[in-house]
Structure 1
């Protein structure tokens, strides 16, 4: 990596000098807002024409905040033309460019007053947008994910990978902070996979993969932040959409309703999904060695019937009592659950020194497990625009209350009598309350120089009760076991403040620098456990430069923290498989990540783009699942034999060095191809094994091709591959998934029908995972039923109406659903 980074920095230096010698760096910036509501106008076209020749020399499209920036202008006099459907065209006639930056400040667009019977507004953003600190994936035309859930969409996001089990990594790091509409939620603390599987893809507007979060963001998540933005509609009137999917593996549906009049908007949604019951065969073959040298061969062969379901609902509003004030509020309810039930045949043999069995026992185990959460989220956000353009005060309050639950039951009997001789049942209901209060302030010092500062408090309270019962053969009943049962209380308080600045440097660099300080105080009520408070200073620094022809280069450094989540600290022992026990670790220390990224972005005139990134991530106190085998293991007053126990531990130091290439290529007007390749070398220094070093190289590749057919029909295919990789205790398997989809739009593109097929040629995906420790070797094979077929229906409703606006005294454009809602 060091030679690559050195070479890239040299190229940057040469390119900057060449650019500075041959091209003017003058630019025009500004913001476009709605004259009636003072809200930003997104995707407005801004064209620059020479005042003398009337020739268009450059242009841009406004972003989500209404901001535009047009670079590489020579000195002269220009005319700026702004246009967007539903608004009157506007021109700024004489704009003199002589210095470096010309700021047009805020330009307002008046709603169109043309008389129309009915209009459908169509427009869409680029599917992938590379911004200075993040990658934005817009899901409007992602038809292979239309019948799926958030996990299916995440597979398409550059630098994000999702495995068969629903584990998500960003740039090769699994410690990712997940947000919904920019806010945290307690639903992610119990089971991240279940939470992501409860959000239908039809509800998602876009996904932001924030790889270089600035000081304004919470420091949580060494891998970065993934923000899932749900669909809304800011057009006037009443409109909405409905989506329904039926399939052989997954079913879901969603409804969105939007109402907006003048300066007040209201939106509501409901979605539900169900993963149908599926049977997953599995086998474990392991040999363990005791300190005496005796060996035991354990063979487990069985299946689990698994199903998952969930639903989400919510209502929100936004109100602008004046052009300077905006109030936004929302409340939502989330519920999801999963359940599995199965039978396992077990053969356990004691081996002599020659590896021959000397005794064998045959066991049958019936087991089941359940998990889930019910949670309520609510938030209130006040935004105040002050005197200066860009001067803003933002006050946010958000909170969530969740009731996570997990339970299991297992009973074992000896063959052939089938008489129960051992078993355990356990449940751990709990409460998880989170509150976030923040105040943010931005202040422009001069043109191109903005200072941001703010404070935040995060309060989290977790309580949990473990109720364990052990099967007693003499009584043929489950008896409460006080030695294994417990109560857990976890109280975390985070107090944070930050300061950051955005400014130009040396006339060719754009700099965003900041630092965040966080004080964390944790109290835990669990025997023999104490967690000291700690402080973290989290700096961030981004250098970027924009070249001509839509090119840019950035160099970023960020420091991040990974604090343990509820599911990581809860010491509840899941004994659904008493030979392989999983539990939490309340003694986990926070992981610290230092992340470096050198990225180059190029957008082509034909609509294609490419992004190349060199990545280096260094994690100290690195947290990973760790397995230890015990010949005998005491839990309460019960002794378990030949048991592996897995929980998360602070391993040591992990180094991730990688390169990522992603891009989009329009082969012809009807055919577009998008792809993403990422190669990562992982090096882990395991301090639990006296500094033992493990190395592994993993490469991931995905390719998406879409072909536009006549009569509003489109075909799409998507393939995703991840190679196997060595881990600190074995090997993680390779994975290959692929999808095909077809969509037909009709009724003026307000309705559509789609067909999807996932891995249609193979019923199962075989996953072989190996674990090696000093005293045992285990091979686990799981056949995951992944083949599925589905059909989806979507409908958008609402139309344009023109009514007299009383307060403003002119006509206002009222409603129409956009093509991407």
Structure 2
């Protein structure tokens, strides 16, 4: 452990030293409309050397300000351009000191502008005090990829061999769409992100150290996906059509933005079909206790699914002080799995049990959420804001399994059917107030969440004599979980030219009532949590460093609380645990970022968790059944180092690297026996892109993952993957065709999970299609002219661990 830490810190220091370039100057200024004297935001700023090669590029902020750095003792041309204004060029001769250009006026141009082609390296990554963002629109690979594919390139994020998304090496985090949580993501994140074209996404933000204004849930942070929203009057949008094979299927997605006077509308939608042809599937369990046995299950697994989503946002600006916005999201998914396997249980006397199982399983989910925000500004200060918000959501999930048997040997279980329907209803009320001073911003707010989770599960067994299915009351129940969370928060944020410091406190009260209808059993939980947070970011000429500390809590969600027992495999039973309690987490983050030619983002994160809720496997040799559930029985900690590098070797070759190393230690008790599992995991993703022309850029990606820890008792096998692809503009900036091939030299791969507990070991192996092809056609249309305003605040329910 010490050797790992010393090696990582030494590597980061070496990279920092290599990335620093002495002899730089800062060039800054303010851009405004010469006629109205209003700031011009999102104007393009380009710094061009005397040989006409681009040096730096940036955009103006909402107040019209911009700042960039460049090597000193050189002469440049600074160009400022924006639609509807004449381009302005400023000569900067032999700059030796920082240059403050003051207020720069842009003159409106009534003529139709011709195409402006600015040659520059658009920065992919931006660092702030509590977050880092990755600009997907600046990455050519986004034209052919899904959002799930692109997450592999985002600092602090990894996607392993099982398509499990991890943030700073941890699977406890939240995913937002446009700064707001949504059931369409939280209920089925991988399926939605796989069907969401990356071309419809502006950027992905990683909130590494959420402030006290966020709910106190989430160990690692928040992944915030910002959809494409052009900020100019008129309309624009994009359409993406794609096809993946042999596993996968057709998909489509798109976005639309309309601005008409005071009304703005943004829409994003998508969906797809996915088909996985029949593949081999096996499960092996060895019992090593007093009664030794071996269970072998071999067969095939086939799957097909479909899903779709729709998100809309409406904004109405009544006047400069009153703004109303409405968001609506809906999604649905349908998954059909066919499991066909032969089971054989061997003990000392030989074969003691056998059967042939057919499992026809269908899982569906659907729902919607709607939120309304009202923002009131102040005449004295436009940044002084009061926001009132309300949100309602309702999502349903169901699971139906029809299990049949034949070729029985000493196996008497009848055929049976399982049904489970879960519902999550949520109402939220929230008030936020922002009070800015000169360099200090004070925020305060209150929030109340009212949840009503329920689950109805039944089992019907086949009666041999009548041939009918009869309800088995011993395996039925109705479960209700009502939860109320009230919270108050207060944060302070200090911002100067190069320093940003924020801190705050959040007080939350949780009241939970759990009820089992059939047994009249109730469980009540009532507790307070005081959650502190602090973040620090210091900017230098070409780099920045940041530090953050937060205490978080981890409440179990409905998927972990639901007591429904899944018996789709007679020898393996899995369920949730309604007795689970919240865990407390302490997290420390340290980061470094530079935007020199060698762009570096490096960070380290340490977490420690008490009362940890872990998934636990226990084996009963008398029934030969493995039971899987969750228990508050452990504690854990981990150190994760993250490194992201981006380097343009030349005008034609771009390279990038994204990886992390995690050392995680978990300990707890299973079946009365103490277990400790500590493991070092490595994940990295490298990319090389070659620009033959501006509209033709092939690339090669490499990925390594694992072996990764999955629980207190389990881990996966390794993965090494390669993909090649390219994109080509058929109509410049309008129509593009993209394609890539994953693992062109390997058709199939075995994905394995290894689990070990007191008296047994298990290995699950599933064959999967490793070679795949994806073709994507992307079309952009329309033009916008004036910006769409949105409320600064809105509801973010991020307090649950699903």
Q: Does 1:585 align with 2:577?
A: yes
Classify the secondary structure of the residue corresponding to 1:724: coil
Counterparts in 2 of 1:620 and 1:575: CA distance versus 1, 3 Å: same
Q: What whole-Å deviation, never above 9, does each CA across 1:159-215 have from its counterpart, x for those lacking one? A: 212233332211111111121111122234544433434434343222212111111
Q: What is the rounded CA distance, in whole Å, between the counterparts of 2:716 and 2:174 in structure 1? A: 23
1:522 counterpart residue number: 512
Kept in 2, the 8 Å contact 1:190–1:372? The answer is: no
2:679 counterpart residue number: 696
Equivalent residue runs for 1:527-606 within 5 Å: 527=519, 528-548=521-541, 550-604=542-596, 606=597
Equivalent residue runs for 1:204-353 within 5 Å: 204-248=201-245, 249-250=247-248, 251-289=250-288, 293-351=290-348
Q: What whole-Å deviation, never above 9, does each CA across 1:263-303 have from its counterpart, x for those lacking one? A: 3222334311111233231111212256xx22221100011
Classify the secondary structure of the residue corresponding to 1:576: strand
TM superposition shift of 1:336: 1.2
Q: TM-score, normalised by structure 1?
A: 0.83
1:130 to 90, 111, 127: 127
2:407 to 407, 414, 424: 414
Kept in 2, the 8 Å contact 1:86–1:813? The answer is: no
Gapped regions of structure 2 (runs ≥ 5): 49-53, 92-97, 789-802
Q: What whole-Å deviation, never above 9, does each CA across 1:693-742 have from its counterpart, x for those lacking one? A: 32110111110121111261111222221121455314322122332211
Classify the secondary structure of the residue corresponding to 2:162: coil
Q: TM-score, normalised by structure 2?
A: 0.85
Counterparts in 2 of 1:517 and 1:377: CA distance versus 1, 3 Å: same
2:477 to 486, 499, 503: 486
1:155 counterpart residue number: 152
Kept in 1, the 8 Å contact 2:448–2:487? The answer is: yes
Q: What is the rounded CA distance, in whole Å, between the counterparts of 1:302 and 1:523 in structure 2? A: 43
| Alignment RMSD (CA, Å) | 4.0
Kept in 2, the 8 Å contact 1:403–1:431? The answer is: yes
Kept in 2, the 8 Å contact 1:733–1:769? The answer is: yes
2:731 counterpart residue number: 747
1:41 counterpart residue number: 41
Q: Does 1:642 align with 2:639?
A: no
Q: What whole-Å deviation, never above 9, does each CA across 1:100-120 have from its counterpart, x for those lacking one? A: 999999x99786432348889
Q: Does 1:439 align with 2:427?
A: no
Q: What is the rounded CA distance, in whole Å, between the counterparts of 1:408 and 1:33 in structure 2? A: 65
1:680 to 662, 669, 691: 662
2:751 to 745, 761, 767: 767
1:804 counterpart residue number: none
1:785 counterpart residue number: 769
Q: What is the rounded CA distance, in whole Å, between the counterparts of 2:336 and 2:34 in structure 1? A: 49
Equivalent residue runs for 1:63-142 within 5 Å: 68=66, 83-87=81-85, 112-116=109-113, 126-142=123-139
Counterparts in 2 of 1:585 and 1:147: CA distance versus 1, 3 Å: farther
Q: What is the rounded CA distance, in whole Å, between the counterparts of 1:373 and 1:144 in structure 2? A: 31
TM superposition shift of 1:500: 1.2
Q: Does 1:62 align with 2:60?
A: yes
Q: What whole-Å deviation, never above 9, does each CA across 1:86-136 have from its counterpart, x for those lacking one? A: 44568999xxxxxx999999x997864323488899999522223221221
Kept in 1, the 8 Å contact 2:208–2:221? The answer is: yes
Q: Does 1:610 align with 2:596?
A: no
Classify the secondary structure of the residue corresponding to 1:533: strand
Counterparts in 2 of 1:766 and 1:58: CA distance versus 1, 3 Å: closer
2:706 to 723, 729, 736: 723
Deviates most, 193-202 or 32-41: 32-41
Q: What is the rounded CA distance, in whole Å, between the counterparts of 2:36 and 2:447 in structure 1? A: 33
Gapped regions of structure 1 (runs ≥ 5): 49-55, 94-99, 352-356, 633-640, 801-811, 816-821
Classify the secondary structure of the residue corresponding to 2:475: coil
2:782 counterpart residue number: 798
1:97 counterpart residue number: none
Q: What is the rounded CA distance, in whole Å, between the counterparts of 1:680 and 1:289 in structure 2? A: 31
TM superposition shift of 1:148: 4.7
Kept in 2, the 8 Å contact 1:467–1:485? The answer is: yes
TM superposition shift of 1:531: 3.5
Kept in 2, the 8 Å contact 1:512–1:542? The answer is: yes
Counterparts in 2 of 1:504 and 1:329: CA distance versus 1, 3 Å: closer
Classify the secondary structure of the residue corresponding to 2:190: helix
Counterparts in 2 of 1:285 and 1:104: CA distance versus 1, 3 Å: same
Kept in 1, the 8 Å contact 2:129–2:501? The answer is: no
Classify the secondary structure of the residue corresponding to 1:575: strand
Q: What is the rounded CA distance, in whole Å, between the counterparts of 1:331 and 1:129 in structure 2? A: 29
1:460 counterpart residue number: 451
Q: What is the rounded CA distance, in whole Å, between the counterparts of 1:104 and 1:59 in structure 2? A: 18
Counterparts in 2 of 1:198 and 1:474: CA distance versus 1, 3 Å: farther
TM superposition shift of 1:476: 3.1
2:466 counterpart residue number: 475
Q: Does 1:369 align with 2:361?
A: yes
Counterparts in 2 of 1:119 and 1:60: CA distance versus 1, 3 Å: closer
Q: Does 1:403 align with 2:403?
A: no
Counterparts in 2 of 1:450 and 1:190: CA distance versus 1, 3 Å: closer
Q: What is the rounded CA distance, in whole Å, between the counterparts of 1:101 and 1:597 in structure 2? A: 34
Q: Aligned residue pairs: how many?
A: 759
1:736 counterpart residue number: 720
TM superposition shift of 1:81: 8.8
Q: What is the rounded CA distance, in whole Å, between the counterparts of 1:37 and 1:365 in structure 2? A: 75
Kept in 2, the 8 Å contact 1:514–1:539? The answer is: yes
Kept in 1, the 8 Å contact 2:273–2:307? The answer is: yes
Counterparts in 2 of 1:574 and 1:58: CA distance versus 1, 3 Å: closer
TM superposition shift of 1:679: 1.0
